Amino acid sequence: GEALAVSARVAPLGSRLVLLLVEDLTEARRIEAVRRDFVANVSHELKTPVGALSLLSEAVMDASDEPDAVQRFAGRMQIEATRLTNLVQELIDLSRVQNDDPLEDAEPVRVDELVAEAVDRCRHQAGTKQITMATAIQDPRGAVRAGLHVWGNRGQLAAALGNLVENAVNYSPAHTRVGISARRISAPGGELIELAVTDQGIGISDRDKERIFERFYRVDPARSRATGGTGLGLAIVKHVVASHGGEVSVWSAEGQGSTFTLRLPEAGVARDRAARHPGLD
Ligand code: ADP
């Protein structure tokens, strides 16, 4: 009787332990599968431009007595080389935001500077499509123009916002408007800075919305590649925001446009400075 009682007591515990082990294994296997997929994707993405470069260099050699053709092929080689450079750079950026703790050299970062940098980065591309870029940065202190500050790693925050603005321009038709706004909002855990990037572009379906933050996921790979996209931009955004204790969300209606919203912890400098130096401009 007693032996039975003991084994009855052990059994549920044992099975729970087995279940935990199985879950652990499943999780480990899932991580391993994600890693393998990632390596396969990287290899594929690298092979495409390298293959094109190799074909084009052969074409250049074959066409050595036709200067026009050589020019044309060389031009395309340059495009492929740029694509390769972008991809390698984004892979480096992604690995950096995944591995480095951004808060190790966190500082108050001026929102107006982040926005200006993101706009500058896309100015050329927007210009060729005659896309208007409009910024609206809240000035909550009126006379004290200390401005909004977020708390974090300047380079990573700039990369995140830059990617969103770049996408807004890339996935919008000519003669549309891209809006970038920033304001302070109150949340239970403290003040947040909300940065929103709005476009009047092609939009994203509900089904794709769930996947666009995955590495290498693109709704339309051909279109993404044509604009120099790597499929890594939003994965970088997601990691930066997560490691800063913020969040990113997306609203979109197909054919109408999208709004990507970042919420990041505010750096209190604006108010601290104002409190310490009243009247400081
Ligand atoms: P990519 O380098 O392809 O732009 P991202 O990770 O930045 O990669 O974005 C993933 C995909 O999400 C894009 O390929 C595109 O299909 C979609 N996407 C991102 N931003 C927008 C946007 N503003 N409007 C419409 N589609 C977008």
**What is the SS3 assignment for 183?**
strand
Cβ–ligand 1 contact at 200 (below 6 Å)? no
- Best of 177, 199, 212 to mutate for ligand 1, by most ligand atoms within 8 A of CB? 212
Q: Ligand 1 atom closest to Cα of 197?
A: 23
Q: Ligand 1 atom closest to Cα of 163?
A: 7
What's the pLDDT score for residue 277? Answer: 46
Cβ–ligand 1 contact at 172 (below 6 Å)? no
Collect all residues with Cβ–Cβ distance below 8 Å to 74 and sequence separation of at least 6. 60
Q: How confident is the model at residue 3 (pLDDT cuts 50, 70, 90)?
A: low
21-25, 55-59, 177-181: range with lowest mean pLDDT: 21-25
What's the pLDDT score for residue 12? Answer: 59
Neighbours of 155 (CB within 10 A): 16
What's the pLDDT score for residue 221? Answer: 84
For residues 63-84, one letter each, b for 16 or more C-beta atoms within 10 angstroms of the residue's C-beta and e for the rest, the string is eeeeeeebeebeebbeebeebb
Alpha helix segments (H runs only) across the chain: 2-62, 67-99, 111-128, 154-170, 206-209, 221-226, 233-243, 269-276
Mean pLDDT across 98-108: 87
Express each pLDDT in 263-277 by its tens digit: 999 997 544 444 444
Q: Look at ligand 1, atom 7, and give the residue with the nearest C-alpha.
A: 233
To the question of pTM greater than 0.90 for the whole model, the response is no
What's the pLDDT score for residue 144? Answer: 44
What's the pLDDT score for residue 13? Answer: 63
Q: What region does 161 belong to: left with phi over 0, alpha with psi -120 to 50, or beta?
A: alpha
Q: Look at ligand 1, atom 4, and give the residue with the nearest C-alpha.
A: 229
Q: Ligand 1 atom closest to Cα of 213?
A: 6
Q: What is d(CA 211, CA 214) in angstroms, rounded to the nearest whole number?
A: 6
Cβ–ligand 1 contact at 204 (below 6 Å)? yes
Which two three-digit tokens encode residue 264? 């990041």
Residue 2 in this model has a pLDDT that exceeds 90: no
Q: How confident is the model at residue 9 (pLDDT cuts 50, 70, 90)?
A: low
Per DSSP, 220 falls in state S
Cβ–ligand 1 contact at 144 (below 6 Å)? no
Residue 113 in this model has a pLDDT that exceeds 90: yes
Residue 163 in this model has a pLDDT that exceeds 90: yes
Q: Specify the residue for token string 């993101």.
A: 118
Mean pLDDT across 6-32: 73
ipTM, two decimals, is: 0.98
Cβ–ligand 1 contact at 166 (below 6 Å)? no
Q: Ligand 1 atom closest to Cα of 234?
A: 6
Collect all residues with Cβ–Cβ distance below 8 Å to 214 and sequence separation of at least 6. 235
Average pLDDT, the chain: 87
Neighbours of 47 (CB within 10 A): 10
Q: Ligand 1 atom closest to Cα of 236?
A: 6
* First vs last C-alpha separation in the chain: 84
Distance 268 CA to ligand 1 centre (A): 33
What's the pLDDT score for residue 14? Answer: 67
The share of the chain scoring above pLDDT 70, in percent, equals 88
Sheet holding 247-253, edge to edge: 132-137, 177-187, 190-199, 257-265, 247-253
Residue closest to 98 by CA, chosen among 43, 151, 49, 35:
35
Distance 265 CA to ligand 1 centre (A): 25
Residue 127 in this model has a pLDDT that exceeds 70: yes
Residue 109 in this model has a pLDDT that exceeds 80: yes
Express each pLDDT in 194-236 by its tens digit: 999 999 999 999 999 999 999 999 999 888 877 878 899 999 9
Q: Residues 196, 180: contact at Cβ < 8 Å?
A: yes
Residue 260 in this model has a pLDDT that exceeds 90: yes
What's the pLDDT score for residue 141? Answer: 62
Q: What is d(CA 252, CA 203) in angstroms, rounded to the nearest whole number?
A: 6
Q: Ligand 1 atom closest to Cα of 203?
A: 25
What's the pLDDT score for residue 271? Answer: 45
Residue 143 in this model has a pLDDT that exceeds 50: no
Per DSSP, 212 falls in state T
- Best of 121, 165, 224 to mutate for ligand 1, by most ligand atoms within 8 A of CB? 224
